[in-house]
Every structure is written in structure tokens, then in C-alpha cells.
Amino acid sequence: MSRISVDLTGKVAFVTGGGSGIGRGFAMQMAACGAAVAVTDLDGTAAAGVADEIAAAGGNAVGLPVDVADAAALDMAVAATIERFGHIDFLFANAGVLGPAEFDAISAADWDLVLGVNVKGVALTCQAVASHMMARRQGRILTTASYNGVRAGAHVIPYRVSKAAVLMYTRCLAMVMAPYGVTVNAICPGVTLTPMQLSYAEATAAEQGITRDAYLADRAARIPMQQFTDIEDLTGLAQFLVSDSARLITGQAIAPDGGVMTSS
């Protein structure tokens, strides 16, 4: 399938959780459109690997080790990015963790981890870049929320709560940033077969005594469009949301999810 391309030459993107899955996809797509990219991740080796992939394809990127729960590390990474590339146009506050699936297994430490990375981490990431974008009176911020942020369920409860909080934070930040011409939107991916989702599928299938493929086939059948979200669906949307065509779209939660939001 051919994709619409946007020329982002001269633009700079900062991605958290860029070493894997959806964040990697965002980083690669921004670079493919000509943007310079700061690929950050808790796993610094993975971040550097994605930056190397971008460079090998002729793009411009730097890989930085960053824990989004660490405000000082974020500030340093933002400063290093601005020093290297001059400014930041697009922020992808994407890093996230899943946490425990079962209600009985949830510990106090799990709440700290999941809310610490998914909620506090998103907020600290946005805050680290906000004043820079406000001063420039331009910028695009995308948070990665989830269909799980709007659908109740008996599993992955801390994760659902964290993603609901990301959606509210995104709307609040959109109100703060709107007078400065900075847009803030959430992407709510449906089930996307990244390492996070595949390890969840593996564990759940084992518990149910079925194969991972059988579990995934059943999961896909319960999605109205009966297919998983492709990373390209998400990166295509991200590309649109940072384009000039989306300058008045803000405070929205956008779900390329095959109808997961509406399925039971």
C-alpha cells in the first residue's frame, strides 16, 4: 500500500520509548520524512540501535538513554537535542509499560511503576519540552495512550487507569499550549503486535493452555475489523498530526484501532 509522504526536512522530533515497537516506528517515519530525530529509551543500546538504523538509511538521528520517570535525565536529553539539532518541533511522549495482568497480582510497587512511567513519565516528558515550544510559539505533542484508557476490563487494571490519566493529561495540556500555537493530541493504538503485546499474548496463552497463535486469532476475531493495528497505521497518523494540515487539531484522542474501542 502506498503512503502519503510529508516533507519534514529541517524539523526535529524527540521520541521516548523509541528503541522498540511503536516508538521505533515513530522515529523511523519522522526520519524517512526528512526530520532529525532524538531517539530516547530506558534501554540506551536499543535507542542507539534505532539511531544507527536511521543513519544507515541516510537519515539524521541521535540515540540517548533516558528514563522518563527521571526529570533531570529528560532535561539533559532535551538540552542535548537542542544543542545538536537547534530546536524541537515534535514530541512523542510514547514510552510505556504494561504492568501485571491479574487483579490478585497487583502490588504497591506495580502501581508505582505503571503510574510512574505511563503517567508521571508522560507529564515530565511534556514538561521538559513545553517551555521550549511555548517560547517558539510552535510545536506538536503526541502522547501514546491506548484503547485501554477508555474501556474497562478485569485485566491490566493499573495500565488502564494510567492510560485514562494520559488522556486527561493530554486534554489539559492542550488547553495550556493552545494559546502558544502548540497542538497536543493522544494516539490510542489498538492491539499492535510489538514486543510488549507479544509477551502479553505469550503469557496469557500459556495461562489458558493454548498456543500464542490461537490466542491471537481469537483476539483478532473480536475486533470489529478483525485485524490488528499496523505500526504503519500509527506512524501515518502521527505524520498527519505533525503536518501543516493538522494545525488546528488539538486536545483529541485519535484511535486507529480497527474498531476496538467499540467492541466488547
Ligand X SMILES: NC(=O)c1ccc[n+]([C@@H]2O[C@H](COP(=O)([O-])OP(=O)(O)OC[C@H]3O[C@@H](n4cnc5c(N)ncnc54)[C@H](O)[C@@H]3O)[C@@H](O)[C@H]2O)c1
| Contacting residues toward ligand X, per CB under 6 A | 16-17, 19-23, 41-43, 46, 66-69, 94-97, 117, 121, 144, 146, 189, 191-192, 194-197
**Cα separations (Å) of 240 from 5, 55, 133, 178, 191?**
9, 23, 19, 18, 21
Nearer to ligand X, 16 or 137 (CB): 16
Residue 255 CA from chain centroid, whole number: 13
In the complex, the smallest distance separating the C-beta of residue 260 from ligand X, rounded to whole angstroms, is 9
In the complex, the smallest distance separating the C-beta of residue 219 from ligand X, rounded to whole angstroms, is 10
Nearer to ligand X, 19 or 139 (CB): 19
Neighbours of 249 (CB within 10 A): 15
147 catalytic per annotation: no
In the complex, the smallest distance separating the C-beta of residue 179 from ligand X, rounded to whole angstroms, is 28
In the complex, the smallest distance separating the C-beta of residue 207 from ligand X, rounded to whole angstroms, is 18
Alpha helices for the chain (secondary structure H): 21-32, 44-56, 71-85, 108-115, 121-136, 157-177, 195-208, 212-221, 231-241
* Residue 144 backbone dihedrals phi, psi, to 5 degrees: -100, 105
- The Cα–Cα gap between 140 and 92 comes to 9
Whole-number CA gyration radius for the chain: 18
- The Cα–Cα gap between 19 and 154 comes to 30
Q: Are 183 and 250 in contact (CB under 8 A)?
A: yes
Nearer to ligand X, 137 or 222 (CB): 222
The DSSP bridge partners found for residue 105 are none
In the complex, the smallest distance separating the C-beta of residue 68 from ligand X, rounded to whole angstroms, is 4
Helices vs strands, H then E, count in the chain: 9, 7
Q: What strand order describes the sheet that includes 12-15?
A: 61-65, 36-41, 12-15, 90-93, 139-144, 182-187, 253-254
Q: Give me the amino acid identity at 186.
A: A
**Active-site choice (147, 159, 200, 215):** 159
In the complex, the smallest distance separating the C-beta of residue 33 from ligand X, rounded to whole angstroms, is 20
Name the residues annotated as catalytic. Answer: 159
